[in-house]
Amino acid sequence: MSFIWHTFFFDPIYNSLVFFIDVVRGGDVGLAIIFTVILVKLVLLPVSLKAARTQLLMNEMAPKMEEIKETYKDNKEEQARKTLELFQTYKVNPFSSIFLLFLQIPIVIALYFAVYTGGGVKLPAINADILYSFIPNPETVSMLFFGMMDITAKSIPLAALAGITQFIHTKLSMPKLKPRDPSKEPSFKEDFNRSLQLQMRYVMPVIIFIAAYTISAAIALYFTVSNLMSIAQEFVVRRKGLKILPE
């Protein structure tokens, strides 16, 4: 477990952070975090585009799934089989979005530990023992973002920005809520799905705000930059659609 953590998460994040600290002017750790997040998002781009493709296809499949539910409402086994066939026809993996979400959790944790512990040496000191051979040891390390904000302290403005960008991204990425049909009796499943979507739209940004403020400005900065890049991706995907997405 330790090997996986250091090989795929902590060490790459720490080395990326140190590399950008050496590159950016004044050794600004805040700017280094921004460039590290951009690099991480670029590495995860194939997975992210796969998740975007899944979301587009799920929206396209929605009417057919409703038709299957209505046609086989009294035969749950056949309903499940037909739904599986529909997923296979569209080549959709409904778990790709969930995988992307869970993949980012250890990355956030790795960034936190890279800034606050550095594998035993806390920034602004650099732990040269875990640097890759091609990563230079920076001469200057500044914990003040743009020379003003301590990146290890709490920041309400950055946390608020993280929550707002999360709300915008969630709103863009999730399908629109269908209006209730007054002629039909609402089912428990429909109410549950509707409640889940509303929670994702409004509760998730609040959770991100609280987490970003409670932990530090560094994590708030991570969420803000990550969300901004995801929002940009959503606009590109909406314009280009399936033409730019991998199968």
Does the pLDDT of residue 240 top 80, yes or no? Answer: no
Please write the tens of the pLDDT for every residue from 185-209: 555 455 556 566 666 778 889 999 9
Question: H or E segment at 145?
Answer: strand 144-145
Please write the tens of the pLDDT for every residue from 16-65: 999 999 999 899 999 999 999 999 999 988 888 887 777 777 777 777 87
Nearest in space to 174 (alpha carbons), one of 228, 120, 104, 234: 234
Integer Cα distance of 141 and 43 in angstroms: 26
17: its two tokens: 């952070």
Handedness of CA 55, 56, 61, 63 (dihedral sign): positive
Contact 120, 223 (CB under 8 A): no
**Segments making up each domain of the chain, as ranges:** 2-244
Q: Is the model's pTM score more than 0.95?
A: no
Integer Cα distance of 128 and 137 in angstroms: 7
108: its two tokens: 């956030």
Contact 214, 158 (CB under 8 A): no
158 alpha-carbon distance from chain centroid: 17
Contact 235, 244 (CB under 8 A): no
Average pLDDT value over all residues in the chain: 83
Contact 131, 18 (CB under 8 A): yes
